[in-house]
């Protein structure tokens, strides 16, 4: 909160449009409070007049960049806002390169398949292909994932540079969500080492009871993990005993997407020794 207020004061003293500065600060403040904030809380914490906050919130709500919970009167960032920064040509290329592979994988496993990225200490879903079962999980674009309990974030974190991983995990509080949640940094780092060895990350009902996920990283032409491909389903249909089989399958499909993004064509930068890379070598 202190850093946000500091930025606000700096913005007020600098050049620019004051109301725009305040709008951006409100959006940034809401980003730091995923549980939402009331009008009074925003006004008090940012030291903005209530009537100014009211007008800004109404405008943002009208354009669907925020939503208001009518029961608690709390304002939250909308999914439209969560995916706003992912409309670039790069992300369109990523999704376009992935969607048919996602459908193919979905047809094999019959479970929901998701592609997501790591951003500012959390995972964000970019696209999904829903499963074929009448009861299936839905992960709409913009859905946020906890960095320490998601298979997709583990799959990405394991292969990013160490200094970037340290920044991403800085300040993370390992809060127990289920009996399987990893609640210590030491155990989490060991889990990432396992991901590097196997090539895929898993979620043993660590965020939600009864939900299992398996994810593999997607690499770009520089060998950087830009996203993760994930299978998610109920534990009875995706049991822990099937993780190895599913892990191999998802690595094969993630490797197809990686190859489309140029991964594997530069032997000097593509040095990962994952299941993903091994399968790519076989297909080259």
Average the pLDDT over 96-101 and give the result: 93
Q: What is the pLDDT of residue 224?
A: 92
Q: What is the CATH number of the domain that holds 100?
A: 3.30.450.40
Q: Distance between CA atoms of 124 and 119, rounded to whole angstroms?
A: 7
Q: What is the pLDDT of residue 273?
A: 47
Q: Distance between CA atoms of 46 and 111, rounded to whole angstroms?
A: 44
For residues 40 and 94, state if they share a domain. Answer: no
Of 50, 65, 82, which marks where a domain is finished?
A: 82
Token readout for 190 is 């060991």
Q: What is the pLDDT of residue 267?
A: 44
For residues 63 and 92, state if they share a domain. Answer: no
In whole angstroms, how far apart are CA 128 and each of 7, 37, 70, 115?
Answer: 36, 29, 28, 6
Average the pLDDT over 224-238 and give the result: 96
For residues 114 and 246, state if they share a domain. Answer: yes
Q: What is the pLDDT of residue 120?
A: 76
Examine the pLDDT at 277 and tell me if it is beyond 60.
no
For residues 206 and 126, state if they share a domain. Answer: yes
Q: What is the pLDDT of residue 152?
A: 97
For residues 139 and 264, state if they share a domain. Answer: yes
Task: Give the residue numbers spanning the domain of 54.
Answer: 2-82
For residues 107 and 243, state if they share a domain. Answer: yes
For residues 78 and 213, state if they share a domain. Answer: no
% residues pLDDT > 70 (the chain): 83
Q: What is the CATH number of the domain that holds 55?
A: 1.10.10.10
Q: What is the pLDDT of residue 19?
A: 93
Residue scoring higher pLDDT (8 or 36): 36
For residues 153 and 164, state if they share a domain. Answer: yes
Average the pLDDT over 206-233 and give the result: 95
For residues 215 and 270, state if they share a domain. Answer: yes
Q: Distance between CA atoms of 230 and 115, rounded to whole angstroms?
A: 6
What total of structural domains would you count in the chain? 2
Q: What is the pLDDT of residue 169?
A: 92
Q: Distance between CA atoms of 184 and 171, rounded to whole angstroms?
A: 13
For residues 118 and 41, state if they share a domain. Answer: no
Examine the pLDDT at 182 and tell me if it is beyond 70.
yes
Q: What is the pLDDT of residue 13?
A: 53
Predicted confidence band of residue 284 (pLDDT cuts 50, 70, 90): very low
């Amino acid at each position: 909160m202190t850093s946000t207020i500091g930025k606000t004061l700096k913005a007020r003293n600098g050049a620019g449009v004051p109301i725009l500065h305040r709008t951006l600060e409100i959006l940034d403040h809401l980003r730091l409070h995923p549980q939402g904030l009331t009008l009074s809380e925003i006004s008090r914490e940012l030291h903005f007049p209530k009537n100014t906050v009211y007008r800004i919130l109404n405008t943002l709500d009208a354009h669907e960049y925020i939503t208001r919970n009518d029961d608690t009167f709390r304002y939250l960032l909308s999914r439209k806002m969560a995916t706003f920064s992912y409309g670039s040509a790069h992300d369109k290329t990523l999704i376009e390169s992935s969607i048919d592979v996602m459908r193919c994988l979905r047809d094999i496993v019959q479970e929901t398949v998701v592609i997501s990225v790591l951003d500012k200490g959390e995972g964000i879903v970019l696209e999904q292909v829903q499963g074929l079962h009448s009861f299936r999980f839905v992960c709409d674009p913009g859905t946020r994932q906890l960095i320490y309990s998601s298979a997709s974030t583990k799959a990405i974190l394991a292969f990013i540079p160490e200094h970037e991983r340290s920044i991403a995990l800085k300040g993370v509080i390992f809060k127990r969500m289920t009996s399987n949640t990893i609640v210590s940094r030491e155990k989490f780092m060991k889990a990432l080492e396992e991901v590097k060895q196997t090539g895929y990350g898993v979620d043993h009902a660590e965020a939600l009871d009864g939900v299992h996920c398996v994810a593999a990283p997607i690499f770009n032409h520089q060998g950087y993990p830009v996203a993760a491909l994930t299978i998610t389903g109920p534990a009875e249909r995706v049991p822990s005993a099937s993780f190895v089989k599913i892990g191999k399958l998802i690595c094969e499909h993630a490797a197809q997407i990686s190859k489309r993004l140029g991964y594997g064509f530069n032997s000097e930068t593509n040095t990962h020794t994952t299941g993903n890379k091994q399968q790519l070598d076989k297909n080259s």
